[in-house]
Structure 1
C-alpha cells in the first residue's frame, strides 16, 4: 500500500472518529451547556489525558516506535517480539503504580490543574470524584499506544485509527442514556460521562487484541519480580527508557503549557474552560485528520529509512508530508479564521448552549486557526527528529516555545480573555514548526525538492479565493437563527463546505497544479 493510500485510510478512519467526537461534544453541549459542572468534567478529563500524552502516544510512542522499527529492520521479527514483551512488562508495573497514586492524590491534582474551581466547592468536589473514576483510563490508553506502535510498524493502520470511535460511542451513550439514569439515582448527571470515559478506554484496548494475536505479537507481561528485573535490564528497554527521558521533558513542556492555560482559564469567566475545550475539539478535526494521520504513517517509514541509511527516501518522505500539509492545512486555517461562527453555531448551538457561548467559542477557534499550519506541520517535522532518535532538539525548541507562549499570554489574555490563550498556542506552534524545519535543514536531513515557490503561489492564490467566498457566505446567512430548523442549517453548511472544496481544488487545477503527484509517493 502506497503512503498516500495509507495516510488516506488513516485519515478516513480518523474522520469517523472526529465525526463521532463532534456528535459527543454536541450532546454534551446540549445536555450540560457551559457550566461549573461541565468545567469540572473537562478538568477531570484533562488529568488522565495529560498523563496519556506523557506515557502513551506522547513520550512513550516517540521513543518506542523508532526503536521497534530499527530492531525489526536490523535484527528481525523474533528479536522484535522479545522487545515487545519486555517493554510491556515494565509498562504494566509502572502504570499500576501510577494509577494507585493518581486515585489517592486526586484532590491535589485537581487543585494543581484548576485552582479556580475552588470558587465553586460543588464543582471542585465533582472534579475530584470524576478524576478518581477516570484515572484507570491512563492504564488502558498506554497499552493501546503500545499496540498501536506495533500495528503501525507492521503497516496495520486501520485498527489503531478506528478505535477512538469506541471512546466517542461510549461517551455518547453516557450522555444519552447514562445522564438521565444518574439523575434518577440522585447523582450529578455529569458523572455519567466519567463512566463513559472508563468504558471507552477498556473497549479501545479490547479492540487491539485480535489484531495483535493474528500477528503473534500480543505481549506477554511478566508478573514476578524476576520478570520485571529481566525486562528492566533488556538492552531494548534501556534504549527506549533512555530516549523517553528527553521525550518526557518535551511532552511535559507541552502539557505544562496546557496546565498553565487551564489554570488561567479557570480564573476567567465561568465557562471559559468549556469554551476552549469545545473550540479545541473543532480544531483537532483537521489536526487529527491530516497531522496525526501523516505522523502515524511517516514515523515508522522514516525510522526504517534512517536505520538502513536511505537518506534520499528519508528526505523525500519529509518533502511529501510537508507539501500535503501546505496543500490541505492552509485552506483549513482559512476556514477557521473566516468561518468560525457558522461552524460553531451548526455544531453546538442547541439546548443549553446559547448564542453567547457560540460567540465565545468562535473567538477561541479563530485563535487556534491562526496557528493551525504550525500545529499540523509539527506532526510531520517532529517525527523527522524522532526517527533519527534525536529527541533532545525538539525538547529544546519546546522549552523555548513554552516561554514564548506564556509571554504572549501576559500580553493577549488581558485583552482577549480565553481567546488570547488559544491565540498564544497557535502563534507558539508556528514558531515551533519553523525551528524544527530549520533544524532539519541545517542537519542536511531534509532537502526540499524543486518547485516549492510555484507550488506555494498556487496554494496562496486558491486560498485567497476561498477566504473571499467563506467571508461572503458567513455574512450572507444568519447562522444563529434557524430555530427548529436544524437540518436546514446543517444542509446549508454541507453545501457551503462542498462549494468551498470545489472552489479551492478547482482553482489549483486551473493554475496547473498536478494533484496526482501526491498519490505517487
Structure 2
C-alpha cells in the first residue's frame, strides 16, 4: 500500500472524527434551540432568514469553492512555486470578499422583496414578515465569513492540514447554542440573539483558521493582483461546480414537491429517514473525499498518474469498506432505530413503520452516494469539473422520472427508492467515464466482493436481533468489531489500513504524553 493511501486514510480519520463531534453538537444545538426558541412565529422567521446565507454557502462555499481552488493552488505550487501560490490565494480572497460584499449590500437593500420571494406566506402576518426581514439583514453577512472559511480550508487541506477546517462547524454550533441560551435566560428575543449568533459563529470559524494558516507558513500580507491567471482558471472551474450544487438543491426541492402530492405525513417520513442516512454519509463519505482531493490534485499536478490511480482506488475501497456495512446495518435495524429515536408524542407506531420503510429504501443507495464523492474529487483533481455536472443533470432527470413512476405504486417509499437508483446510476456513470479517462480499473473488485459478503452477513445478523428492542442497538459496537475482525481474516487491505491508522494515533498519543 503506497504512502498516499496511508495519508488519505489518516486525514480521513481526522475529518471523520471532527465531523462526528460537529454532528453530535448539532444534535445538542437542535435540542437547545427547540427549548429556547420553540416553533412559533419567531422560530419560523429565523429559520427562513438563516436559509438564505445557508443556500449560498452550499452553492459557493461548501465544496464548490474548495474543489475548484485546490487543484489550481496545487498546480501553481508545483509549476510556479510557493510565492506564486500564495499570491494566487490572496487574489482569490480579494475577489471573493469583493463579490460577496457587493451581494451583501444588495441583499440589505432588497431584503423586503427577497423575503417576499422566499416566504410569500408570511406577507399576511405583518409582524412575522417584518421580523423575517430584520433577521435576513442580520444573518446574511455570515456568507462573507463562511465562504472565506472555505478558501482557508482549501489552503490548509492543500498543505495537509484537515483538523481546523473540519472543526469549523463546531464554532457555529457553540455560537448558536450560546446565543439561544443567552437570549432565553436574559429575557431578550431569542430569534434576534441567534441571528447575531450566526454572525459570531461565522467570525469564530474564520479566526479559528488563522493560527493554523500562519503555522503552515501562509500569510495574507504580500503581493496579489486583480488579474491573476490562477484565479481566472479557478473561476472557470468553479462555474460548473456551482451549477452542480444547484442541481443537487433542485433535486431536493423536486423530491419534496413530488412528496407533497402523496398522503399527509409523506414529507416527514422522508425527512426523518434522510436525516439518519445523512449521518454516516456526512461523517465518513465526505471525510474520505475531503482527504483524497488534495493528494489527488498534487499527484495530477506532478503528472504522477499511476500513483493517482492507486490513491483513488484506495479511496474507493475505503469508502465502500465503511459505507456498505453502514447501509446493511441501517436496513437490518431500520425499525428499532426509528422507534428508539422518534416514537413518542405525535410520532405513532404507524409513522415508525412508514419512516423505517423509507430508511430501507434510502439505505440501498447510501454506498453509491458515498462512492460518488471520491470519484467527483478524482475528476476535479484532473481539473475536469464539467463531466460530473453533466452526469448530475442526467441523474436528476432519472430521479424525477423514476420518482413519478415509483410513487404511483410505492408512495413515499418509491421516492426514496428513486433516489437510490439514481445514485447508483450516478456512480456507474462517474466510474465509467473516469475509468475510460484513465484507462484503468479504479474500484478494487476483489475487495468490493469481500466487503459485500461481510456486509450482508452483518446486516442479516443485525436484522435477526432486531426483535430484541432496545437491546439490539447496544449490539451495534459488537457488529462493528465482528465485521473488522472478519475483514482481517479475509486479509482485506482496508482493514490493515484501519489498524495502521489506530496504531499511528496510539503512538502519537504516547509521544505527546512522554513529552
- Deviation at 1:97? 1.7
Partner of 1:137: 142
> Structure 1 residues 172, 331: CA separation in 2 closer, same or farther (over 3 Å shift)?
farther
- Deviation at 1:254? 1.5
Partners of 2:9 and 2:291 within 8 A in 1: no
Alignment partners' CA distance in 2, 1:9 and 1:438:
30
Partner of 1:485: none
Partner of 1:458: 450
- Deviation at 1:197? 3.3
Task: Name which of structure 1's ranges 300-309 and 54-63 shifts more when overlaid on structure 2.
Answer: 54-63
Partner of 1:21: 26
Partner of 1:323: 317
> Structure 1 residues 405, 40: CA separation in 2 closer, same or farther (over 3 Å shift)?
farther
Partners of 1:34 and 1:271 within 8 A in 2: no
1:431 to 403, 425, 429: 425
User: May I ask how many residue pairs the two structures share in their alignment?
Assistant: 495
2:152 to 147, 153, 160: 147
2:184 to 154, 176, 180: 180
Partner of 2:212: 211
Alignment partners' CA distance in 2, 1:271 and 1:200:
34
Cα displacement string for residues 313-355 of structure 1 (whole angstroms, at most 9, x for unaligned residues):
0100111011111111001112222323443444456788776
> Structure 1 residues 149, 447: CA separation in 2 closer, same or farther (over 3 Å shift)?
same
Cα displacement string for residues 133-174 of structure 1 (whole angstroms, at most 9, x for unaligned residues):
432222111000000000011111111111211222233334
Partners of 1:333 and 1:373 within 8 A in 2: yes
Cα displacement string for residues 273-305 of structure 1 (whole angstroms, at most 9, x for unaligned residues):
666555444333212222221112111111111
> TM-score scaled to structure 1, two decimals?
0.83
Alignment partners' CA distance in 1, 2:472 and 2:173:
23
Alignment partners' CA distance in 2, 1:443 and 1:370:
28
Partners of 1:13 and 1:162 within 8 A in 2: yes
Q: How does 1:23-422 map to 2 (within 5 A)?
A: 23-28=28-33, 42-106=47-111, 130-175=135-180, 177-178=181-182, 180-181=184-185, 184-185=187-188, 187=189, 193-220=194-221, 230-231=225-226, 233-262=227-256, 278-347=272-341, 362-413=356-407, 421-422=415-416
Partners of 2:8 and 2:315 within 8 A in 1: no
Alignment partners' CA distance in 2, 1:267 and 1:120:
27
Cα displacement string for residues 76-105 of structure 1 (whole angstroms, at most 9, x for unaligned residues):
111111101110100001111222333445
TM-align CA RMSD = 3.6
Alignment partners' CA distance in 1, 2:352 and 2:446:
39
> Structure 1 residues 66, 446: CA separation in 2 closer, same or farther (over 3 Å shift)?
farther
Alignment partners' CA distance in 2, 1:495 and 1:277:
25
1:473 to 448, 465, 472: 465
Partners of 1:334 and 1:463 within 8 A in 2: yes
Alignment partners' CA distance in 2, 1:31 and 1:506:
45
Partners of 2:462 and 2:472 within 8 A in 1: no
Cα displacement string for residues 394-421 of structure 1 (whole angstroms, at most 9, x for unaligned residues):
1110111111122233234566666655
> Structure 1 residues 280, 134: CA separation in 2 closer, same or farther (over 3 Å shift)?
farther
Alignment partners' CA distance in 2, 1:219 and 1:382:
30
> Structure 1 residues 293, 304: CA separation in 2 closer, same or farther (over 3 Å shift)?
same
Alignment partners' CA distance in 2, 1:24 and 1:285:
16
Alignment partners' CA distance in 1, 2:279 and 2:138:
27
> TM-score scaled to structure 2, two decimals?
0.83
> Structure 1 residues 23, 74: CA separation in 2 closer, same or farther (over 3 Å shift)?
same
Alignment partners' CA distance in 2, 1:124 and 1:363:
38
Residue aligned with 1:309, SS: coil
1:516 aligned onto 2:496: yes
Partners of 1:113 and 1:259 within 8 A in 2: no
- Deviation at 1:312? 0.9
Residue aligned with 2:62, SS: coil
Partners of 2:9 and 2:288 within 8 A in 1: no
Task: Name which of structure 1's ranges 255-264 and 38-47 shifts more when overlaid on structure 2.
Answer: 38-47
Residue aligned with 1:390, SS: coil
Residue aligned with 1:55, SS: helix
- Deviation at 1:215? 3.0
> Structure 1 residues 10, 498: CA separation in 2 closer, same or farther (over 3 Å shift)?
same
Cα displacement string for residues 329-385 of structure 1 (whole angstroms, at most 9, x for unaligned residues):
001112222323443444456788776775665455444322211221121000111
Partners of 2:391 and 2:426 within 8 A in 1: yes
Partners of 2:247 and 2:393 within 8 A in 1: yes
Alignment partners' CA distance in 2, 1:157 and 1:282:
25
- Unpaired runs of 5+ in structure 2? 1-5, 502-515
